[in-house]
Amino acid sequence: MTAPVYLDCDTGIDDALALAYLLASPLASVVGIGTVSGNVSAAVGARNTLDLLSLAGAADIPVALGAHDPLAASFHGGAPWVHGSNGVGEVELPPSGASLAAESAAGMLVRLAGEYPGELRVVAIGPLTNLAQALELDPLLPSLVESVTVMGGAALAPGNITPVAEANIWHDPEAAALVLAADWDVTLVPLDVTMTSVLEESHRQVLLASAAPVPRALGEMLGYYFRFYEGIYGRPCSAMHDPLAAALAVGAVRPALAPVVRGAVDTSDGPGRGQTVCDMRGLYAGYPEVKGARCRVVLSLGEDFAPHLVDTLLKLSPVPELI
């Protein structure tokens, strides 16, 4: 069955992969997109999103501008050394003629949850500011959505911003704390699994050879992304953070190990700020069921995700209708 999906993103390179994946997947129907500051500002992310949708022939999907600043701080300026100054690896996308929705991202999420009660799947692949604001707008929101999948955190793996903090959580720990404490179950897709799910140069070459403009543009973007990750992996390749979260959210791939544990976020000003504190002490007993636990932490997959990702991206139409 096709699931209605609200995507909340900070459209950099891996967000672009996730968006394209959801557009191509027969399991997903993207009904709205909100942007937030993270890899780039919310405004730049919105422009990237509109341009990608147009390139994919999906300019009818509404895009709402979300929070520029995190709840308790100011936007840090993005990560141009990872995603390029424009967020998409310095690739120039054809500009879309579409306009942003009149509502905020938080308002869009609340509205869509009411339109698709019990069906809407929330996929959050940036900082969680918009989700926190939506919870404030409608405290009943958790009872209306079908699922919440968050790309973020690090359970047993090291962080990528600090020794313990992953970027999406670290950029707005206060918002992340509210999202994990809300009355809903959250699937967390942390660095534990995304850093061990790797897209190789051979996969990029397949995308570059596509006749469709979106896979080809993604292949070009990945050249920039690979150069950053070469300093981490020692070869041109990259982690697949956001598209993996999207695939897990719609059930296209399944985890091999995903215990349900208690989870919280450190909002202190000390060295632990932004840490996703997952109670992994059940490791030694095979992760028994824990009463009151709400955080499903994906730790490993049963198979390589890269072939499925590439195959799905190649399904995008080679002749989109540009506006």
Catalytic one among 172, 241, 242, 266?
Answer: 241
What are the distances in angstroms from CA 278 to CA 114, 124, 234? Answer: 31, 18, 29
When computed from its CA atoms, the radius of gyration of the chain, rounded to whole angstroms, is 18
Contact 116, 4 (CB under 8 A): yes
Q: Is 83 assigned a catalytic role?
A: no
Is residue 172 flagged as an active site residue? Answer: no
Residues in the chain, total: 323
Instruction: Give CA 228 to chain center in angstroms.
Output: 19
Q: How far apart are CA 113 and CA 226, in angstroms?
A: 36
Contact indicator for 153, 276 with CB cutoff of 8 Å: yes
Ordered alpha helix ranges (H), the chain? 13-24, 42-55, 80-83, 105-115, 129-137, 167-170, 173-181, 191-194, 201-208, 213-233, 241-249, 306-313
Helix H or strand E segment including 123: strand 121-124
Q: Which residues contact 223 (CB under 8 A, 6 or more apart)?
A: 89, 204
Q: Contact, 285 vs 25, CB < 8 A?
A: no
- CB-based contact 141:249 (threshold 8 Å): no
Catalytic-role residue among 10, 51, 172, 192: 10
Would you please indicate which residues are annotated as catalytic (active-site) residues?
10, 241
